[in-house]
Copies of this chain bind each other. A is one copy, B any other.
Amino acid sequence: MKASIPNRILLPEEKVPAQWYNLRADMPEQPAPLLNPGTGEALKQEELYPIFCKELARQEMDVQTRYFDIPEEILAYYKTFRPSPLHRAYRLERELDTPAKIFFKFEGNNTSGSHKLNSAIAQAYYAKAEGLAGLTTETGAGQWGTALAMACAHFKIPLTVYMVKGSYNQKPYRRSIIQTFGAQIIASPSSTTNAGRGILEQNPETTGSLGCAISEAVEKAVTTEGHRYVLGSVLNQVLLHQSVIGLEAKAAMELADAYPDIIIGCAGGGSNLGGLIAPFMQDKLTGKANPRIIAAEPASCPSLTRGVYAYDFCDTAKVTPLAKMYTLGSGFIPGANHAGGLRYHGMSPILSKLYDDGRLEAVAFEQTNVFRAAALFSRAEGILPAPESSHAIRAAVDEALKCKESGEAKTILFGLTGTGYFDMGAYEQYLNGTMTDQIPTDAELQASFPQG
């Protein structure tokens, strides 16, 4: 049996999913609706049109359509980098001396370096189809900005990226790659928007946050003719696009005659986790299987494990609709943490609902602990993981070590969302022992939780 499963399970090209799977269609209870912050009423689809493309607004609101056909041009682009490989981590298993069978779905083998491209190309496609003049977005670690810059280069759509100032300064090479793909990049907070100017006035030295960059990107989109805003996580539409990860993973596991007992993904806004688990959660919701599903988040930004489930703004300057989600408060600015992509104050409303319903578990890790797993994994498997992805590695290693204790040969599947080539500064800190952990106190969290 063991010998028959290769190290890398590659589906044939025709197995790239032709449809996205909409998990909401199988949820017995829906996530709470978005609210208009002015009226407190549930948001209507039309109210999203100034922000999002119409088709994306439709995808955002549609809780019934189970499968969405993937347009031809998106599918053709997917086929330049998908199916992504599913790996059996034999070498890691050996290193851990565990009876567990560890699989990981690797989304880092494209130039953007992560799964973000799955949604970026879809969102750019709809923007092109609607004849938009340009797009705006924000980026934290830079993976989403890179993916969207590639997608916009493909469809020749002008793009402005607001990059969290801390990352902008720490990662000049992320800037360069985004610029190489032709996008304009602005350090956030900036003086180009009211939101940015307001935040700078209050705190001129701030290194910014995702919430703040979102405020600027949204404002820029709604105040610029023919522009719309796009987001790389949190939203229902993004989880829909990312379902290709889970659909392929499940098909590849079937090829290997395996089904996961435990499924693990890192969780910032929830795009990867939501995509990876989608078809497995379907099995769980429909009673076909009952895998454990674990979200791995940073202890420095613990929205699921220490946040509250409440209506909150998706951004700092409160220009977005209100979403009911696990949140640390839209004003929460996490301590310096190199896992930039997981530094968001909130969590996907779909995942928040599932978590609140007890359908998924969550665990938080300090980053030094995460990098220990990353270093172990890289030497064993020959892949350099992104800090974000390494949260999932940490959780998978811990579960595999529990199997070693108990002697159980559980099947573990985790999502390896991307590569760490642009995070070597963090690896350097880890290697030379200067990396620190910054965990918010209870009092700090209480002070930032949404009021009311």
Q: Does A431 contact B (CB under 8 A)?
A: yes
Most chain B CB within a 10 A radius of its CB, from A110, A180, A375, A380: A180
Q: Which residues of B contact A54 (CB under 8 A)?
A: none
6 A-B pairs in the complex with CB atoms less than 8 angstroms apart: A8-B13, A81-B382, A111-B383, A154-B382, A177-B384, A181-B379
The stretch among A224-232, A246-254, A361-369, A417-425 that forms the contact with chain B is: A417-425
Closest to A109 in B: B109
Closest to A87 in B: B80
Closest to A171 in B: B424
Q: Which residues of B contact A379 (CB under 8 A)?
A: 153, 180-182
Q: Does A96 contact B (CB under 8 A)?
A: no
Q: Does A10 contact B (CB under 8 A)?
A: yes
| Complex A-B, nearest 6 residue pairs according to Cβ-Cβ distance, in ascending order | A173-B424, A421-B421, A153-B379, A176-B424, A176-B428, A7-B80
Most chain B CB within a 10 A radius of its CB, from A81, A375, A424: A424
Q: Which residues of B contact A7 (CB under 8 A)?
A: 76, 79-80
Distance in angstroms from A363 CB to nearest chain B CB is 24
A424 touches B80 (CB 8 A): no
- Given contacts A150-B382, A153-B378, A177-B421, could you give 19 more A-B pairs where the C-beta distance is less than 8 Å? A7-B76, A7-B80, A8-B81, A10-B13, A12-B12, A111-B378, A111-B382, A111-B383, A154-B382, A173-B424, A173-B428, A176-B424, A176-B428, A177-B427, A179-B431, A180-B379, A180-B431, A182-B379, A421-B421
Q: Does A359 contact B (CB under 8 A)?
A: no
Distance in angstroms from A271 CB to nearest chain B CB is 20
Measured CB to CB, the residues of A under 8 A from B are 6-8, 10, 12-13, 76, 79-81, 87, 91, 109-111, 113, 150, 153-154, 172-173, 176-177, 179-182, 375, 378-384, 419, 421-422, 424-425, 427-428, 431
Distance in angstroms from A140 CB to nearest chain B CB is 18
Q: Which residues of B contact A173 (CB under 8 A)?
A: 421, 424-425, 428
Query: CA of A113 to CA of B108 in the docked complex: distance in angstroms?
Result: 12
Distance in angstroms from A90 CB to nearest chain B CB is 9
Query: CA of A133 to CA of B150 in the docked complex: distance in angstroms?
Result: 45
Distance in angstroms from A72 CB to nearest chain B CB is 12
Assuming the contacts A177-B427, A425-B173, A427-B177, asked whether A79 and B6 have C-beta atoms less than 8 A apart, the reply is: yes
Query: CA of A13 to CA of B153 in the docked complex: distance in angstroms?
Result: 32
Distance in angstroms from A179 CB to nearest chain B CB is 6
Assuming the contacts A172-B428, A177-B427, asked whether A382 and B8 have C-beta atoms less than 8 A apart, the reply is: no
Assuming the contacts A13-B6, A153-B379, A382-B80, asked whether A111 and B419 have C-beta atoms less than 8 A apart, the reply is: yes
Distance in angstroms from A175 CB to nearest chain B CB is 8
Q: Which residues of B contact A6 (CB under 8 A)?
A: 13, 79
Most chain B CB within a 10 A radius of its CB, from A12, A79, A111, A419: A111
